[in-house]
């Protein structure tokens, strides 16, 4: 999800120094002990931000270990799937109507948190007793909300669904857009943005000793060609093949750097790249074309 959004990230564990990061994501199943919860609380108090979902932020007994402005009611909502409906326009990626959530939401109540979206019930759970010809039962527009689906409270955003697991399973772009909008709310001055499609990849690397940053832009279109490639143990996997290399462009990218670079150039060719400063203080480059990969060096930016 973060790769598709072109958001630079590290994968860390509980031994990491949280203060190195502007935002920490606790996806779906990051159960906390009291010591880690204490460190994360101090991290937020110092200005850090957190996005958490489903069981993350809770102890094994269901007790919330982070002050997220919510209370766990115990258990989950009794519908699967259910729907999510935005309460306003704060989440630009959510439609104005309820959209289906192929997962089970935790049952919570807001106590101080700002509710950005609610859980909406369907008419019934689809079963042998109740049938709907659709893949999922339609939402009940007259029913009261089942509780918050997305909240924000003092630097922490929480999603009641296992939204990362759901995205991995279903690939519904709206799930990704909810996470994107929450990150933008908590961290509006992003380090990197580009107009590349979701199939592209972008990574910004700092080389402090050389006093520079390097922006890697990557785009290729893999196609599933093999459906049963041996993977050991009697298992198989699919094979994704990159055969057709089609240049794209122009590609625009903006990076937020500690200071303006003394020179910007393409690493492979050494050719200078024109750049300009955007109104919000980022350094922007426009590449006329991109053939699989380009590494743009921002010299003197550290």
- What is the arithmetic mean of pLDDT over 213-229? 93
In sequence order, which ranges of 157-255 are alpha helices (DSSP H)? 163-170, 173-186
Q: Please report which confidence band the pLDDT of residue 31 belongs to, taking 50, 70 and 90 as the band edges.
A: confident
- What is the arithmetic mean of pLDDT over 120-142? 86
What's the confidence (pLDDT) of residue 64? 86
- What is the arithmetic mean of pLDDT over 146-171? 97
Rounded CA gap, 36 and 222, in Å?
40
Mean per-residue pLDDT over the chain, rounded:
94
Q: What is the pLDDT of residues 58-73, one digit of tens each?
A: 888 888 899 999 999 9
**Distance set, CA 115 to CA 47, 151, 214, 240 (Å):** 21, 4, 39, 41
What's the confidence (pLDDT) of residue 139? 94
Rounded CA gap, 11 and 24, in Å?
10
What's the confidence (pLDDT) of residue 136? 83
What DSSP string runs through 5-34?
TT-------TTS-GGG-SEEEE-S-----H
Q: Please report which confidence band the pLDDT of residue 132 belongs to, taking 50, 70 and 90 as the band edges.
A: confident
Q: Percent of the chain beyond pLDDT 70?
A: 100
| Token pair recorded at residue 294 | 């380009």
CB 253 within 8 A of CB 260: no
What's the confidence (pLDDT) of residue 62? 80
Rounded CA gap, 77 and 210, in Å?
53
| Token pair recorded at residue 24 | 């920490």
What's the confidence (pLDDT) of residue 24? 98
Sign of CA dihedral 145, 92, 150, 135: positive
Q: What is the pLDDT of residues 224-273, one digit of tens each?
A: 888 899 999 999 999 999 998 889 999 999 999 999 999 999 999 999 99
Give the largest Cα separation in the chain, rounded: 70
Per-residue pLDDT at 74 exceeds 90: no
Q: What fold characterizes domain 18-186?
A: Rossmann fold (3.40.50)
| Token pair recorded at residue 68 | 């997220």
Whether residue 288 is preceded by a cis peptide bond, meaning omega within 30 degrees of 0, is: no
What's the confidence (pLDDT) of residue 189? 92
Domain boundaries, the chain: 18-186, 192-299
Phi and psi of 263, rounded to 5°? -160, 145
- What is the arithmetic mean of pLDDT over 270-277? 97
CATH 3.30.420 is right for the domain spanning 192-299: no
β partners of residue 263: 299
Phi and psi of 67, rounded to 5°? -80, 95
What's the confidence (pLDDT) of residue 61? 80
Sign of CA dihedral 228, 231, 237, 242: negative
């Amino acid at each position: 999800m973060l790769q598709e959004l072109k958001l630079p990230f590290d994968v860390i564990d509980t031994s990491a120094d949280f203060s190195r990061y502007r935002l920490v994501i606790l996806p779906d199943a990051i159960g906390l002990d009291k010591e880690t919860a204490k460190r994360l609380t101090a991290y937020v108090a110092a200005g850090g931000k957190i996005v958490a979902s489903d069981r993350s932020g809770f102890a094994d007994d269901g007790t919330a270990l982070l002050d997220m402005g919510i209370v766990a009611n115990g258990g989950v909502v009794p519908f699967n799937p259910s729907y999510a409906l935005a309460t306003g326009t704060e989440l630009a990626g959510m439609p104005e109507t309820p959209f289906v959530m192929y997962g089970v939401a935790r049952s919570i109540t807001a106590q101080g948190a700002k509710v950005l979206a609610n859980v909406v019930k369907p008419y019934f759970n689809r079963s042998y007793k109740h049938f709907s010809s659709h893949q999922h039962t339609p939402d009940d527009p007259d029913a009261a909300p089942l509780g918050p689906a997305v909240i924000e409270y003092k630097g922490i955003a929480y999603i009641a669904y296992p939204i990362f697991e759901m995205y991995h399973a279903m690939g519904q772009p709206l799930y990704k857009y909810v996470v994107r909008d929450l990150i933008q709310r908590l961290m509006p001055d992003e380090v990197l943005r580009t107009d590349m499609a979701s199939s592209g990849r972008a990574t910004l690397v700092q080389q402090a000793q050389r006093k520079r940053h390097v922006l890697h832009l990557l785009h290729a279109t893999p196609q599933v060609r093999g459906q049963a490639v041996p993977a050991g143990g009697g298992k198989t996997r699919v094979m994704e093949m990159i055969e057709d290399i089609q240049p794209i462009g122009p590609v625009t990218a903006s990076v937020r750097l500690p200071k303006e670079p003394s020179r910007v150039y393409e690493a492979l060719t050494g050719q200078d790249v024109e750049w300009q400063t955007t109104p919000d203080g980022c350094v922007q480059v426009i590449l006329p074309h991109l053939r699989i990969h380009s590494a743009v060096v921002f010299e003197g930016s550290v």
